Each structure stands twice: as structure tokens, then as C-alpha cells.
Amino acid sequence: MSFREALESGKFVVTAEVGPPKGTDIEEMIHHIELLKGKVDAVNFTDNQSAVMRMNSLAGCKIALEHGVEPILQMTCRDRNRIGLQSDLLGAYALGVRNVLCMTGDHVSAGDHKGAKPVYDLESVQLLRVVDALNNGKDMEGNDLKGSTDFFQGAVVTPEANPLEPQLIKFEKKVKAGARFFQTQAIYDIEKFKEFMKHARKFPVKILAGLVVLKSAGMAKFLNNFVPGIVVPEELIEELKAAGKEKALDTGLSICARHIKQLKEEAICDGVHIMAIGMEDKVPEILERAGLL
Amino acid sequence: MIITKKKDFQELMENIKNYQKFFLVGCSECASLCGTGSEEAIKELAEALRSEGKEVTGGFVPKTGCQVLGTKKELKAFKDALAETDCILVMSCGAGTQTAVELFPDKPVYPTNDSLFLGNMTRFQMFDERCSLCGQCILDRTGGICPVTTCPKGLLNGPCGGMQDGHCEVSPDIPCAWVRIYERMKRLDKLEEFRESVLEAKDWSQAQKPRSLSTREKKEKK
């Protein structure tokens, strides 16, 4: 069953994330792809995440397909203009990619090429409309395509944004622009997430809760202080502290598994998106602890 | 106005090291408000050049340095000083410098400033960029606040995920343009418009360089 079919069938889906390497050595990426094979419904391939230059997302997607894993192509608007984005979308479809995640993209100032010219010729809402046009056999100027795409297109949302209302309005704009599924920024407060889901449930879209594994109390504090839209509640930080340095990671994995279990059992959302960030090999263990394997 | 900043003096000296006699041209408009092209700035630069062993044959502040014919007329009074000089230094923006390039085809012309942006003066000699002359104004759709300029990504349909407590991911010193737009439209009871409005991709052909405009024909018809 494809990722799209799984979501549409009402199955609680699991996606994970792999960042292509900085360089041409794809051994570790293939290792992570093999590790996730059969355990998740699809794997996101990041697009020069945090504006750090790496191998492109499309190559990662193609390699995943060759290894029998369904990819989700992450596409940001930072590095390509409207011609480049559309052209890459057509190429991705021809290579077998069926899922695309449309995002604006971190600003170049966050990355390792700070003097780069940021493009943002389009932004996430407009990119979603472009995908919708390509799916309907037209480019964004209305010119006919010889063979259309049939992408399952998604977007991102930050349920803990402050202030929240402009973010929720943008979420609605993304829905109207054709987003079919959303992967959220990392969430840690399930009760607050339920509030967001109450709003999201008014729209005909599937929501995958974003989860980032906490490795330590220090990491939790870092996320709170430096990563926009992520709020780790104090009680989780206390739980990590109480576990002590040696058991902190184990506790972080348990917290992640516990959240997945609750999200699924209470049918709060339609699935989870696990961003392991360097701990891709722990994803199967998290899923086991959550009772999903 | 056009915001300018003085170039580093050593960099300027390196640029003009092959010349000895200078004529300085300021501007009474933007460059005077920026303190880069005023009478006082001319005096300061003349002194600094002399202390480096250079000569200054003269200098003046044209009314509007980017107005080519007006500046040409004003320069007539400085014929002798200009004849003596072997290099013109322009202390306004890049437009003013290129006025001088047009007026002095046989003399080298050097800028003393870097031209930065179209700015609003918020306090004395403090400037903010609010308009980037994109050629297709959308202020009518964004509560009068320009996201093309004041959002580092130039986003057209709401804040990105990098917004934190109303500030930008690029710097906490930058207020999020889209939160400002949201708050203003909310105050004006236009939240419904904010919700419904989806801006199309911009037509950047309107900003294709070099741009020119002539409204003469219209006036002649009158």
C-alpha cells in the first residue's frame, strides 16, 4: 500500500526523515533507507535542510525508490525560481516520485553559504498551487504539459507558533492551495496539540504529528531557546534530568514512543513524522516501544 | 530617500591613489540627510584629502545630484576649478555618481559612498528599508506594510515557520512582517480580507533592469 493509499484508508501512518549526505558517499544514507524499509510508510528526503548545502533531495528519493522505500520529496523555495521548481517537479515525477512536501525553506543565513542569494521566487502556498496545476496538466502559466503529474502534495504547519492565528490562517491557505497532508513542526505537549487538531479537523486534510527525539535535557532547552515553534514542556525536561546522563537518551526514546502510542490510541491525528536527526537507526526501536512493529 | 554610507577612507585612498587634484560633488537631497554629501561632509573630506597630501580645487552641493541637466547648469559656475582637477569625487548615491560620469566624459569619476537602499528616516540619521521598488505595489493587499521588503524571504501569504514570538528567524531584531501585517489588519477589522487574500507569484518582469520611464508624451498632449 502506498503512503497515499495508507493515509486515505485511515491507517495510522508513520514517516521518517533522512538527510542526504554532504558529499557523494551514499553508504550511510542507504544504510538508513534499508533500516527503515518495511517499518515506515514513507521517508522524507530533506532539501538542503537548515540551508546547509548537501546532495539534493531528488537523488535521495531516487535511491530510496531503488531500495524499495517510498520517498517524500521535500521541496523548498529557497534555491530555485519558478522555472527550476517546476522543471524539478516534472523530473521527479518521471523518476517515480509521487509525494512532495512544499515548504518555504530556512533562510540562507542559517546555513553554511551565508552569502548565497536567497531566491523565494515562489513560497509554500504558491508552490502548492503549482503542484496542483502540474497535476492538472498545466504549468503555472497555464501552458499545456505533455503528460501531467499525479503528485500527492503536502505541506508543513507549526502548531505551537506564537502568535498562532496568522499561522493557522496560513494553514488554511495551504489547504485551499491543494495540500492533502501536513507534517507538523515537532510537538511535545499532546494536550495543546489536541487543541490544534480540533481546528485542523475542520479541513479535509491528513495530519502527521512531527516528533523529534529528545537526547538530553540540554537538547530540550536548546530547542526551547533557539528553534522557532518548538516548545518542550518543563515536566519532560525534568523527566530527562531525573533519568541522569546515561539514561537520558533511553528516556527520550520512551517519551517519543509514549507520544506515538497516545496519538494513535486516542486517534488524535492521522500518523506521525519522526525526525530522528542523526539517530535514524533508533527509529525501529521507537516504533517497537510504541507497539507499532 | 536613497541611503548612502561613506566608504572606508583607506579604501577610497587606494582607489584614487593615481590622482592628485580633486573636485568634490555632494548632493542637497538624500546624501545631505544621510550626512554623506552635505557641505559639512565636503569640508571634512577636503581636509582629510589635504592631510594626505592631495589638492582640492573645489567642491559644491548640487540641489539634486541625480537631475542631470540641473546639475550641469549648476556646475557652470565651477568651470575653472573643474578645469584644474584630474579627478571628480562624487559624495552622493550611485545615481549622482553616474550624473557626473555623463557630464565629464574625459575625467575619471569615483564614488566616495556605497549606496544602500531606499529608506525611511526614522530618527536623525537612522534609516529603515520599507520599499524595494519592485515595480508592482502590493501594499493595497497587505495592510500597507511591504512583505517583499520587510520579510527577508519576501513571502506573500503569511509568516513562515521561522517566526518566533513575533520575530524573524533571520534576526530577533527584525519584527516578523507577517505578524505586523496580521496585527494591523486585525486592528483595522480586516482579518477576513487577510484570511481570504491569496497573492499570486509576483511578476518580476516589472523589475527587469535597466528600467526607464517617460511621461513626456502625456504632458505634451495636454
Residue B125 confidence class, pLDDT cut points 50, 70, 90: confident
Residue B46 confidence class, pLDDT cut points 50, 70, 90: very high
- Look at domain B2-117 and name its CATH class: alpha beta
Domain ranges in chain A are: 3-213+255-280
Check CB contact under 8 Å for A163 and B164. no
Q: What is the pLDDT of residues B158-185, one digit of tens each?
A: 999 999 999 999 999 999 999 999 999 9
**Which residues in chain A are contacts of B201 at CB distance < 8 A?**
82, 121-122, 126, 140
Domain ranges in chain B are: 2-117, 132-203
Residue A62 confidence class, pLDDT cut points 50, 70, 90: very high
Residue A70 confidence class, pLDDT cut points 50, 70, 90: very high
Per CB distance under 8 Å, which residues of B are interface residues toward A? 152-166, 169-171, 178-179, 182, 194-195, 198, 200-202, 204
Residue B218 confidence class, pLDDT cut points 50, 70, 90: low
Check CB contact under 8 Å for B164 and A228. yes
Backbone angles phi, psi at A169, to 5 degrees: -65, -40
Q: For the residues A205-231, what does the mean pLDDT come to?
A: 96
In this predicted structure, what is the pLDDT of residue A91?
A: 98
The percentage of residues in chain B with a pLDDT greater than 90, rounded to a whole number, is 96
Residues B107, B85 contacting (CB under 8 angstroms): yes
Asked if residue B210 has pLDDT above 60, the reply is yes
Q: Among partner residues B154, B159, B169, which is closest to A167 by beta-carbon distance?
A: B159
Cα gap B37→B65, rounded to integer Å = 10
CA dist A180 → A58, A68, A136, A233 (Å): 21, 24, 15, 30
Asked if residue A204 has pLDDT above 80, the reply is yes
Residue B59 confidence class, pLDDT cut points 50, 70, 90: very high
Check CB contact under 8 Å for B169 and A107. yes
Asked if residue B221 has pLDDT above 60, the reply is no
Q: Other C-beta atoms within 10 Å of B129: how many? A: 14
In this predicted structure, what is the pLDDT of residue B188?
A: 97
Check CB contact under 8 Å for A161 and B204. no
Q: What is the pLDDT of residues A226-256, one digit of tens each?
A: 999 999 999 999 999 999 999 999 999 999 9
Q: Other C-beta atoms within 10 Å of B51: how many? A: 8
Q: Among partner residues B161, B170, B204, which is closest to A158 by beta-carbon distance?
A: B161
Asked if residue B219 has pLDDT above 80, the reply is no
HSE of A248, CA atoms in CB hemisphere, 13 A: 14
Q: What is the pLDDT of residues A71-107, one digit of tens each?
A: 999 999 999 999 999 999 999 999 999 999 999 999 9
Asked if residue A176 has pLDDT above 60, the reply is yes
Cα gap A206→A223, rounded to integer Å = 26
Check CB contact under 8 Å for B166 and A185. no
Interface residue A203 vs chain B (CB under 8 A)? no
Topology at the third CATH level for domain A3-213+255-280: TIM Barrel (3.20.20)
Residue B220 confidence class, pLDDT cut points 50, 70, 90: low
Asked if residue B217 has pLDDT above 80, the reply is no
Check CB contact under 8 Å for A123 and B179. no
Listed by number, the residues of chain A in 218-247 with a beta carbon closer than 8 Å to a beta carbon of chain B are 228-229
**Which residues in chain A are contacts of B160 at CB distance < 8 A?**
104, 123-124
Check residue B117 and report its DSSP letter.
E
Residue B91 confidence class, pLDDT cut points 50, 70, 90: very high
Helix axes of A27-36 and A57-66: crossing angle, nearest 10 degrees: 60
In this predicted structure, what is the pLDDT of residue A278?
A: 85
C-alpha distance from B121 to closest chain A C-alpha (Å):
26
Q: Which of B153, B168, B171 to mutate to test the interface with A (most CBs of A within 10 A)?
A: B153
C-alpha distance from B60 to closest chain A C-alpha (Å):
38
Q: For the residues B97-107, what does the mean pLDDT come to?
A: 98
